[in-house]
């Protein structure tokens, strides 16, 4: 697990004024990575780091000679149009670059004046998926979500027999993963109407979001050489927010026996910023398992995972309907929960993913599965909030939703905070539902 160092000092402040604003997502202690360019320009995409409401152009800073040693090696890779090279370098180089960036952006940095010209306004930038994703796996790691969903279809036995024994997942589609701001047409497919004897083809009528955490792989592993639980975090570059959009009516008809297909492959949206595990070090939490539940098999068990395997990452889902936009109203909160409720830890998901010999590569992406909590208003999907569509969710202006309508924009936010540490955020992950494309 990452140890605290100078980059976590809560008293440290940046010379970038917006990074000192209370509640800012991107203070000096965060320093997340993205790939950007000025919006509407023909500039090449390149790597940058968020600081306040600005982006530090790493390539420009590197060309000006502001990095040395291992930090310079890492900066050269971080300046590229894809972050795979940086991810492949490993934790020693990631840490060296983080320390160098921290010292360059700290209030008393001697290079302050020279670096001012390397800043770009976030509001004037556009982003793309920050790495070349070779493979994408979506997990199913929240027992509260699994129980809520299971009750809709199997009231007497909501959990599948294997859920408490292993992290469940399926391999998803990479080509339709987009960055925040993604807009996509409502999917089409087959569904089986209640009481019908044959399926029908048409537009999805039960479109949903799923509030998830994305897990970016840094260094990979060789095929046939599993990653041990206590070694996992040297292979994880960082986390982001992820919306695994779901066509529930299509999914209900197609998922047996092989799982999701058209119900999931039409769009997945991620936030542009990758928050590193180093930045998240002050917000680690114990990973726990109720004593009366099955305990993990040995390859999924360790003292370190029990002590610090969790993340107290607060998660929030909001909705902005077309009517709310017309009325000038802000997005309305649908739910709020924390990643600390996850039944399986990040380490356990990856240890299990590789235990059979699967090789992960730099830039591979995992979704955590929908993150729901035990309390009222902690569900991470509309199908839970609306109890399968039976109880509409009330929204401002007299609107209500059981599932998403055309024109709805869903926004995810994430942040970490605790006494004695500086709050850090993940920015936004937003996506908009468009009408189905014409056949």
CB atoms near residue 323 (< 10 Å): 16
**Band (1; pLDDT cuts 50, 70, 90):** low
- Catalytic residue selected from 145, 341, 352, 353: 145
Dump pLDDT digits (tens) for 87-137.
999 999 999 999 999 999 999 999 999 999 999 999 999 999 999 999 999
Continuous segment of H or E residues that includes residue 94 = helix 91-105
SS3 177: strand
Dump pLDDT digits (tens) for 31-50.
999 999 999 999 999 999 99
Is the pLDDT assigned to residue 394 strictly greater than 70?
yes
Decide: 336 and 316 in contact? Cβ < 8 Å: yes
**Band (51; pLDDT cuts 50, 70, 90):** very high
- In 3D space, the residue among 125, 133, 163, 143 whose CA is nearest the CA of residue 296 turns out to be 163
Residue 109 to residue 103: CA distance in whole angstroms: 6
353 catalytic? Reply is no
What fold, for 6-127?
SH3 type barrels. (2.30.30)
Say what the pLDDT of residue 154 is.
Answer: 86
Provide the token pair at 195: 């009481």
Domain-wise residue ranges, the chain: 6-127, 136-434
Residue 94 to residue 4: CA distance in whole angstroms: 15
Is the pLDDT assigned to residue 365 strictly greater than 70?
yes
Q: What is the mean pLDDT of residues 209-218?
A: 98
Say what the pLDDT of residue 221 is.
Answer: 98
Dump pLDDT digits (tens) for 150-194.
998 888 889 999 999 999 999 999 999 999 999 999 999 999 999
Domain 136-434 has CATH 1.20.1630.10: no
Place of tokens 């999924």: 300
Say what the pLDDT of residue 3 is.
Answer: 83
Residue 410 to residue 432: CA distance in whole angstroms: 6
Dump pLDDT digits (tens) for 232-283.
999 999 999 999 999 999 999 999 899 999 999 999 999 999 999 999 999 9
Continuous segment of H or E residues that includes residue 311 = strand 310-311
């Amino acid at each position: 697990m990452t140890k605290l160092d100078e980059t976590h000092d809560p008293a440290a402040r940046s010379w970038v004024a917006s990074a000192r604003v209370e509640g800012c997502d991107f203070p000096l202690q965060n320093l997340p990575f993205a790939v950007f360019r000025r919006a509407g320009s023909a500039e090449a995409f390149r790597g940058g780091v968020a600081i306040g409401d600005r982006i530090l152009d790493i390539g420009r800073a590197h060309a000006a000679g502001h990095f040395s040693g291992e930090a310079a090696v890492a900066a050269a890779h971080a300046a590229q149009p894809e972050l795979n090279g940086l991810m492949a370098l490993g934790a020693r180089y990631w840490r060296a670059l983080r320390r160098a960036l921290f010292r360059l952006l700290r209030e008393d940095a001697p290079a302050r004046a020279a670096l001012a010209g390397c800043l770009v306004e976030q509001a004037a930038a556009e982003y793309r998926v920050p790495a070349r994703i070779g493979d994408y796996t979506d997990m199913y790691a929240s027992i509260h979500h699994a129980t809520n969903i299971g009750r809709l279809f199997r009231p007497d036995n909501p959990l599948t027999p294997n859920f408490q024994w292993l992290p469940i997942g399926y391999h998803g589609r990479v080509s339709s993963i987009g960055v925040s701001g993604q807009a996509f047409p409502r999917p089409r497919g087959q569904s089986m109407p209640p009481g019908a004897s044959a399926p029908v083809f048409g537009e999805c009528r039960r479109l949903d979001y799923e509030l998830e955490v994305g897990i970016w792989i840094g260094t990979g592993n060789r095929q046939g050489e599993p990653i041990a639980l206590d070694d996992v975090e040297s292979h994880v570059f960082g986390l982001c927010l992820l919306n695994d959009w779901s066509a529930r009516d299509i999914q209900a008809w197609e998922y047996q026996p092989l799982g999701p297909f058209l119900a999931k492959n039409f769009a997945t949206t991620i936030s542009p910023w990758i928050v590193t595990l180093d930045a998240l070090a002050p917000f680690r939490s114990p990973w726990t398992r109720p004593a009366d539940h099955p305990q993990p098999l040995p390859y999924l068990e360790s003292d370190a995972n029990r002590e610090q395997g969790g993340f107290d990452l607060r998660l929030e889902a909001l909705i902005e309907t077309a009517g709310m936009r017309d009325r000038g109203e802000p997005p309305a909160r649908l739910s709020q929960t924390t990643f600390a409720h996850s039944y399986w830890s990040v380490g356990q998901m990856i240890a299990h993913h590789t235990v059979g010999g699967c090789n992960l590569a730099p830039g591979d992406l995992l979704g955590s599965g929908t993150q729901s909590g035990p309390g009222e208003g902690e569900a991470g999907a509309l199908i839970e909030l609306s109890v399968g569509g039976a109880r509409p969710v009330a929204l401002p202006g007299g609107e209500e939703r059981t599932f998403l309508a055309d024109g709805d924009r869903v926004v995810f936010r994430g942040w970490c905070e605790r006494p004695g540490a500086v709050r850090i955020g993940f920015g936004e992950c937003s996506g908009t539902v468009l009408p189905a494309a014409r056949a």
